[in-house]
Amino acid sequence: MKIKAVHSIKGVSKSLNNLLIDSVASGASIGFIAPLSLQSAHDYWQGVDRDLATPYRRLYLALNGDTVIGSVQLSLCAKANGAHRGEVEKLVVHSEYQGQGIAKQLMNSLETDARILGLQLLLLDTRQGDTASYLYRKLDYIEAGTIPGFAKSSSGEFDATVYFYKQVA
């Protein structure tokens, strides 16, 4: 398994679609409602691919051979007063590969690049109670607060989200 920063999804789009569909089906709260269609997954990744052509989006992949088994994104702030910060988005690991430290490796790669880019602050949010919140705490992210009823779940209920931050400079 290797971690790689990519500037295009060319050659891995099918694998990314499978990763996203698996993650949503497994209950990940990443902006989608299950079941996620192949077309919706494809459309999402095409949008990410367009964003990768700008200086404001980075994509990190965990690869097992040519298969994407995990990913995370770094969104850079385009505002002059926010050039020092970035947002961690959509950290996912395929259900067959969870519990092997892949998410931690993805986050370490993202944080290393954030420092190289001169970022000083990283932000993220996750559904309250998700296992991801334990990972973020282990990686020294600080809980900043909770917003109730933030996101609708696949079951139709509204879940709270927890915001975290980390100073990386």
Task: Please give the domain boundaries of the chain with CATH numbers for all domains.
Answer: 2-123 (3.40.630.30)
Per-residue pLDDT of 11-59, as tens digits, reads 999 999 999 999 999 999 999 999 999 999 999 999 999 999 999 999 9
The mean pLDDT of the chain is: 97
Other C-beta atoms lying within 10 Å of the C-beta of residue 19: 25
Local confidence band at 90 (pLDDT 50, 70, 90 cut-offs):
very high
Number of DSSP helices (H) and strands (E) in the chain, helices first = 4, 7
CA distances from 8 to 27, 51, 85, 124 (A): 27, 9, 23, 23
Report the percent of the chain where pLDDT is more than 70. Answer: 100
